Structures are given as C-alpha cells and as structure tokens.
Amino acid sequence: MIEVRQVSKTFNGQQVLFDINHSFEEGKVNLIIGQSGQGKSVLAKCIVGLYEPDAGQVLFDQRNFTDMERNERSQIRQEIGMLFQGAALFDSMTVEQNIMFPLQMFTKKTRAEIQARTDFCLDRVNLAGRNKLMPSECSGGMQKRVGIARAIAMNPRYLFCDEPNSGLDPKTSIVIDKLIRDITQEYKITTVVITHDMNSVMEIGDRIIFIHQGKKWWEGDRHSIITANNPEIESFVYASSFMKEIRTQLQKK
Amino acid sequence: MNLLKQFGRYILMLSVVFSRPNRWHIFWKQTITEIEHIGINSLPIVALMSTFMGAVIALQTASSMESPLLPDYTVGFITQSSTILEFSPTILSLILAGKVGSNVASEIGTMRVTEQIDALEIMGVNSLNYLVLPKITAALVFFPVLVVFSMALSMFGGWLALLVSDLTTTEIYILGIRSFFNPFHITYALTKTLVFGFLIVSVASFHGYYVKGGSLDVGKASTQAVVNSSVAILIANFILTQLMLLS
C-alpha cells in the first residue's frame, strides 16, 4: 500500500498540489484521473520522488520515502516499476538489453538466469522473439509493452503507469489496459495509473481519485463515477458524445 | 547571482557524479564505449587539423624568417614549441569542445527530455554517476593520447610542408625540433589536457542533464555547453600557465 499524507507542491510561486491525502490499495489498479494540467502527473512524480514535495509525506508500506536519504530511496526504487508516457526505453539498447538492464544493475543473477527472466517478461507482454529489435524499430504499442516488460523485470511491489494509452489506437489501448490489470492481480502489486482516458477508467479502475485544481476532488470506483453527483466529474466523464449517449440510455432505464 | 547559482549546482552535480558505481563491470563497459565515442571517433578530425595546422605554422614561420641572424633551425624549433605549448593541448581542446561537448550535451539532454533519465532514477540508478562518470573517465584516459598523437602529426605536417616547398632540409628541421627541448613542457601540456578534458565533458554533461523542455532546448543546451566549456578552457589555460610556467 502507498500512503500519501498532506502532500503539497509549488512551482515558481504557483501551488500545483494542495494537501493531498490518499491510500493506494495493494492488488488493485488505482487510477489518478483528471483534466490536463490539474496536477495528476505532479502528484505521481512526487510519489516516486522525481519531484520533492514542499510538504507532506509518502509512505511505501509504512516506510517513509520522503525523509529517506538517496541510498535508502534507491532500495525502495528497486521495488518500483514505471511505465512512462513515451515508454522512455533506452534508445541505445535493444529491447532485450532494456529489460536486462535493471537485472544486471541490481541482482546477482547469472547470465542464464537474466536471459530466462528477460524471455519470460517478453513472453508475458506477447513479444517473445523480439529480443534484438531496437526501440526505434518498434511501434508505439510495442514500445509500451516493452516498457511494461522492463517495469516488471524486477518483480516490483509497486507499478506506476503514466498515461499508458496516450498515442495508441483503441484496440492496442485495451491490450495495454488488460496487461496492467492482469499483472496487478497476478503479482498482487499496488498499481497506480495516471490517465484521462475514460475507456481505461471503465476497463481497469478498481479505485479512482479525481484531481481537480490540484486537490483531491473525489474518490470512488468505476461504477460510482458514472453516477457521481459532481459538476466537475460529470463534465470530465461525459465530455465525449459517446459517454453522453450512455448517460442518456442510463437515464431512460 | 545566477552564475553563482549555476556554479553551485555544477559543484553539487560533481559530488553526485563522483560516487561509487553500482556495478563496476557495467562502469568499465560504459567507459570502453565512451572511449570509442569520445576518443577514437575524434581521431580523424584530430589528425586532419593537426597535420594542416603544423604545416601552416611551419610555412608562416619560414615566410617571416627574413633576418640572416636567425639560424635555419628556428622554423623547426618554433613549430615544436607552438605545437607542444599551445596548439595541441589548447587549440585542439577548443575544437574537441565543439565536437565532444555538443555530442555529450545533446545525448544527455535527449535522454532527459525523453524521460530516459527519469527511468534510470526510478529504477534506483544514480543517473549522474551512470551517465557522466564513464564519459569523464574516458576523456581523462584518451584526451592525453589524442594530444600526443596531435603533437606528432603537427610536427610531421610542418616537416612535410617545408619539404614540399623546398624551404629546409629534414636534418635542419629535426635539429630545430630537438633544440631547447624542455621535457617539462610535455608535463605542462598533458596537465592542461587533463583539466580541459574534464571541463569539456563535465560542463557539457551539466548542460545536458539539467535541460528542460523539448528538442529545441536540447539544441540550445548543446550550444551553451560548447560556449561555456570553451570559456572554461581559456580561463583554465591562463591560470595553469601562470601556475606552471611562471611561478
């Protein structure tokens, strides 16, 4: 479980996050949703330590990450896997080398064991046999899947996904969403997904928080968000004609 | 004030860079790769520049030798001293600041804007140590090799130009090169090279690592890296010359 306690963040005198409190549950896909520029990515970066919060604490299973020294943080970070918006694969390395990298850096596994783990991770994301491709030779969806394979290589306890579906077609988005949900349930990890894609919300959102104007505006699950009686959430959820149509159908029933 | 802040940030960056690598075998592997990128790939430009610069120094000196009081070997002597004292360590470093500095800044800058550095940090890797230390080590190992190579080729270029132009004989040129040779000048040149190599790579890494924005900003950081490392080289050259040759 990841706990966020009264986290605030300011950039150049402008407050972006206001006293965020939340617990991200283990074995569930926890979504952070909201419109662009409302602070959801900043919150995620504060949680993983890419930004230092101005106030508040982040606890990974009761371990206070915020107050830790660099070396101690490094230990926790080895338990974190992250899928970046643009996949962030190391472009000088092959697909296989990208996945092997954390294993070579932090484990004492033999070369054969590392190879076996890499092949397993590639197989898990349906990319078996694509070991020698360079990231530039992969499609957007493949890059995301390699990103997931790299993120799970170290058997993480926590998985972060920053807009995993951005730039992907709907079919590939569903594949990625399914992978995230399956991996979360399979390994009982705490998964945090930042998204503004309502399809993802409905597909995988076990627990959802809605960030608006840098504040935690609402929390619930994928069922309750449909009926949430809040103008900001309504305008977000029913922004598309498709969702508006669903609402009309629901109201008719 | 901003300059002071940037300098402080640069010193803090170096304190993180010079920490123990996570895995020594990965560090050495990276260093070998960087020796190839930074050093071996610079050999053609170094060879070309050094040969022609040596030739021009020799021809310019020969064309100015109007006084009959000056001995014939002066051309060789001036080519030798200009090459060892200034051309090979300083001018070559300024050229490498352009080639290597822009390369390092744009490589690290691109990794920053494409979140590859964030990916390293999330994994628990000390990204500064992983990315920058092998580059600095490679520069410290290979820049002296490049400078010695440059010295030899510059003097060879001078000899070739004089011979082709029929301005002196091989014996007189070699006599000039060996005249008043001071071995300390080699120490001085190599010391400068080590300092300049360190400055080029660390300043370029600093500009690349802290870049914010997109590809346009990477380009700006790359230019800034070349300008600032060149200025740092000129200042360090002045200080080192004062310290080593005049005190």
Render each residue's pLDDT in chain B as its tens digit; 247 residues. Answer: 788 999 999 999 999 999 999 889 999 999 999 999 999 999 999 999 999 999 999 999 998 887 778 888 899 999 999 999 999 999 999 999 999 999 999 999 999 999 999 999 999 899 999 999 999 999 999 999 999 999 999 999 999 999 999 888 999 999 999 988 899 999 999 999 999 999 999 999 999 999 998 889 999 999 999 999 999 999 999 999 999 988 6
Q: What is the pLDDT of residue A237?
A: 80
DSSP A25: P
Indicate if the pLDDT at residue A249 is higher than 90. no
Taking CB atoms and an 8 Å limit, are A88 and B124 in contact across chains? Answer: no
Which residue from B minimizes the CA distance to A154?
A: B123
Out of B114, B116, B122, the one facing A77 most closely (by C-beta) is B122
Compute CA B55 distance to the chain's CA centroid, rounded to the nearest angstrom.
21
Q: What is the pLDDT of residue A147?
A: 92
Q: Which residues of B touch A (CB under 8 A)?
A: 22-23, 26, 114-116, 118-119, 121-126
How many helices (H) and strands (E) would you count in chain B? 11, 0
Check: CB of residue B188 under 8 Å from CB of residue B196: no
Q: Which residues pair with B185 in a beta bridge?
A: none
What's the rounded mean pLDDT across residues A195-209? 86
Check: CB of residue A122 under 8 Å from CB of residue B44: no
C-alpha–C-alpha distance, residues A223 and A66, integer Å: 33
Q: How confident is the model at residue A233 (pLDDT cuts 50, 70, 90)?
A: confident
Q: Is residue A30 assigned to a domain? A: yes
Q: What is the pLDDT of residue B239?
A: 95
CATH number at residue A66: 3.40.50.300
B67 φ/ψ angles, rounded to the nearest 5 degrees: -75, 130
Name the amino acid, one letter, at A14.
Answer: Q
Taking CB atoms and an 8 Å limit, are A82 and B124 in contact across chains? Answer: no
Q: Which residues pair with A31 in a beta bridge?
A: A193, A208
Indicate if the pLDDT at residue A251 is higher than 80. no
Q: Is residue A228 assigned to a domain? A: no
Which residue from A minimizes the CA distance to B113?
A: A88
Taking CB atoms and an 8 Å limit, are A106 and B126 in contact across chains? Answer: no
The range of the structural domain enclosing residue A81 comes to 2-222
Cα of B142 to nearest chain A Cα, Å: 22
Out of B26, B122, B124, the one facing A104 most closely (by C-beta) is B26
**Of B231, B245, B243, which Cα lies nearest the Cα of B93?**
B231
Q: What is the pLDDT of residue A53?
A: 92
What's the rounded mean pLDDT across residues A133-150? 91
Contacts (Cβ under 8 Å, ≥6 apart) of B12: none
Phi-psi region of B124 (alpha: psi -120 to 50; beta: other; left: phi over 0): left
Q: Tabulate helix, strand, coil % of chain B (nearest 5).
A: 85, 0, 15
Interface pTM, i.e. ipTM: 0.86
Check: CB of residue B97 under 8 Å from CB of residue B80: no
C-alpha–C-alpha distance, residues B155 and B74, integer Å: 13
Q: Which residues pair with A20 in a beta bridge?
A: A7
Contacts (Cβ under 8 Å, ≥6 apart) of A2: A23, A24, A47, A58, A59, A60, A61, A158, A190, A192
Q: Which residues pair with A208 in a beta bridge?
A: A31, A220
Contacts (Cβ under 8 Å, ≥6 apart) of B68: none
Indicate if the pLDDT at residue A247 is higher than 90. no
Cβ neighbour number for residue A82 with a 10 Å cutoff: 25
Secondary element (H or E) of residue A16: strand A14-24
Residues of chain A with C-beta less than 8 angstroms from the C-beta of B125:
74, 105
Contacts (Cβ under 8 Å, ≥6 apart) of A202: A222
C-alpha–C-alpha distance, residues B241 and B247, integer Å: 9
Angle, alpha carbons B117-A161-A203 (nearest 5°): 165
Residues of chain B with C-beta less than 8 angstroms from the C-beta of A160:
122
Indicate if the pLDDT at residue A167 is higher than 90. no
**Of A13, A33, A9, which Cα lies nearest the Cα of A216?**
A33
3 state DSSP class of B18 = coil
Check: CB of residue B97 under 8 Å from CB of residue B218: no
Indicate if the pLDDT at residue A248 is higher than 90. no
Residue whose token pair is 């290979």? B142
Best interface-test mutation with A: which of B37, B123, B126, B215 has the largest number of A CBs within 10 A? B123
Q: Is residue A239 assigned to a domain? A: no
Structure tokens at B24: 């020594």
Structure tokens at B70: 């000056």
Q: How confident is the model at residue A173 (pLDDT cuts 50, 70, 90)?
A: confident
Q: Is residue A241 assigned to a domain? A: no
Q: Which long-range contacts (CB under 8 A, 24 or more apart) does A229-238 make?
A: A236/A33, A236/A34, A236/A35, A236/A196, A236/A210, A237/A198, A237/A201
Q: What is the pLDDT of residue B209?
A: 96
Residue A148 burial (C-beta neighbours within 10 Å; 0-12, 13-18, 19+): buried
Q: What is the pLDDT of residue A126?
A: 85
Structure tokens at A245: 């149509």
Q: What is the pLDDT of residues A45-79, one digit of tens each?
A: 999 999 999 999 999 999 999 888 888 888 888 89
What's the rounded mean pLDDT across residues A107-130? 91
Secondary element (H or E) of residue A212: strand A207-212
What's the rounded mean pLDDT across residues A169-198? 88
Structure tokens at B160: 């070739």
Check: CB of residue B132 under 8 Å from CB of residue B233: no
Out of B115, B121, B124, the one facing A106 most closely (by C-beta) is B124
